[in-house]
């Protein structure tokens, strides 16, 4: 079972392999910014992947296109577009 860990003093979360990152965080009481409800439009759900980027699904075409348009900083992923396949550590500035 993949584990989502945090940089700050926040309890880790165990999720099913293949679980959506944003949905998993929200279901476990961790807020994730969004104004599109996870439809891959607003890019407000960006999170920093501190460790375990290889444990996340590869960016889909939508994420690749928006990354090009908005020039996401390195290491940022659109959490609503990402599936968790293994252990990962993530962070958001508002946590
Ligand atoms: S929640 Fe809007 S793009 Fe991810």
Tell me, using a 6 A CB cutoff, whether residue 51 lines ligand 1. Answer: no
Residue-wise pLDDT tens digits, 19-60:
999 999 999 999 999 999 999 999 999 999 999 999 999 999
From ligand 1's centre to the CA of 81, what distance in Å? 8
CATH number of this structure's domain 3-91: 3.10.20.30
Burial of 88 (0-12, 13-18, 19+ CB in 10 A): buried
Does 8 score more than 90 pLDDT?
no
- Alpha carbon distances (Å) from 12 to 8, 60, 61, 66, 91: 10, 26, 29, 29, 12
Q: Is the pTM of this model over 0.75?
A: yes
From ligand 1's centre to the CA of 45, what distance in Å? 5
Average pLDDT over residues 6-23: 96
Tell me, using a 6 A CB cutoff, whether residue 45 lines ligand 1. Answer: yes
């Amino acid at each position: 079972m993949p584990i989502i860990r945090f940089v700050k003093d926040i309890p880790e979360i165990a999720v099913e392999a293949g679980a959506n990152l944003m949905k998993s965080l929200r279901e476990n009481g961790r807020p994730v910014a969004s104004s599109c409800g996870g439809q891959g439009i607003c890019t407000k759900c960006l999170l920093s992947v501190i460790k375990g980027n290889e444990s996340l699904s590869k960016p889909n075409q939508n994420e690749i296109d928006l990354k090009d348009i908005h020039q996401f900083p390195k290491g940022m992923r659109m959490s609503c577009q990402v599936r968790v396949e293994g252990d990962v550590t993530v962070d958001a500035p508002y946590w």
